[in-house]
Amino acid sequence: MDLEKFIREATRKPGVSGYECGVNGYIAEQFRSLADAVTIDRMQNVIARVGCEGPKVLICAHQDEIGMAVTKIEDNGSLRLRRNGGVDPRILPGLEVEIQGRRGPVYGVIGSLPPHLQAPGDGRKAVTFEDVYVDTGYPAEQVRELVRVGDSVVMLAEPQMLADGAMASKTMDDRASVAAMLVAAEELKRMPVKMRVFFAATSQEEVGAYGATAAAFGVNPDWAIAIDVTHGEGPGTAKFEAHPLDRITIERGPLIHRALGRKLESVAKEYRIPYEISAGGGETWTDADSVQFVRGGIPTALLSIPLRYMHTTVETLRLDVVRDAGRLMALTIAAMADEWEDFQWS
């Protein structure tokens, strides 16, 4: 699988939480050659099934991205915004955006008052959503023909390859994990196992992981793995709150099924896949939180890919770690299939 190509294309597709139809068709198409069945459900989740017999496992990675929505069209034609997901307003001034308008995408830029025109001391104040606006260049009358209040606003940024196998892009959170699921599906195609694997590119994770709840209820799996990104070591991060970029992380914590977590660790050791333990103290803020509480409870593990600069347009990670995450999921599924009847869940 060409990871760089998939990530370049996937991160360019619009898919703000609740508006995933701009990206889910592309993701579904990538799974079609690897899966026995691919569907898009009413929550906009892409669900690809690999295998036709055996226990069911659900693998979740969210497809939605953070973004914004139009709240007002000013008389001068500029657009006011609110966040959709965890957008930090400090990154907005100078950003290129695309409004998903009634007739198609509308290009714009986010401006703010120049420092020359600011009152003394204003330059040291934190940027808020009240300080920024989108300028499309159109007069207000034409803007109102193209844009409606509530239309989603997508941040634009071109993916860039960096040194030592690193890649920077918007929306690595979490389309890099969708890429890892494709790696796992490709691996499983080469080593058929008696396990029905449901890969779910979920919706609405950035606003509450609601798509994962629906996917888990619909699939009703015997066990699950959620995969997402976590904070990678970089400028300004403390050792206790971030992880090295060159290895995956496996979560331990009160919301993670201990036996499944141990299984991920043992398989990683067996196949010499570099990993680090991440200690959780409660909610993980990933799809894992939603999946484990569905129906009568679903044993769930969490695997993460470290990246720098989360929730910006230059999220940075290493492609080899994305591939390792996919391999680890596939190898763990194969190991679970081999010992399913004797697996110790406690």
Nearest-angstrom CA–CA distance, 328 and 268: 6
Which residue out of 20, 65, 187, 205 is catalytically annotated? 205
Nearest-angstrom CA–CA distance, 232 and 210: 26
Place of tokens 């239309």: 151
98 is catalytic: no
Is the bond leading into 174 cis (omega within 30 degrees of zero)? yes
Let me know: does 180 contact 323? Beta carbons within 8 Å: yes
Structure token pair of residue 305: 């890919």
Let me know: does 66 contact 84? Beta carbons within 8 Å: yes
Tell whether the torsion through CA atoms of 99, 101, 105 and 109 is positive or negative: negative
- The angle at the Cα of 173, spanning 168 to 179, to the nearest 5 degrees, equals 85
Q: Which residues pair with 278 in a beta bridge?
A: 251
**38-49 in b/e burial notation, b at 16+ Cβ within 10 A?**
bebbebbbbbbb
Report, as residue numbers or ranges, the catalytic residues.
Answer: 205
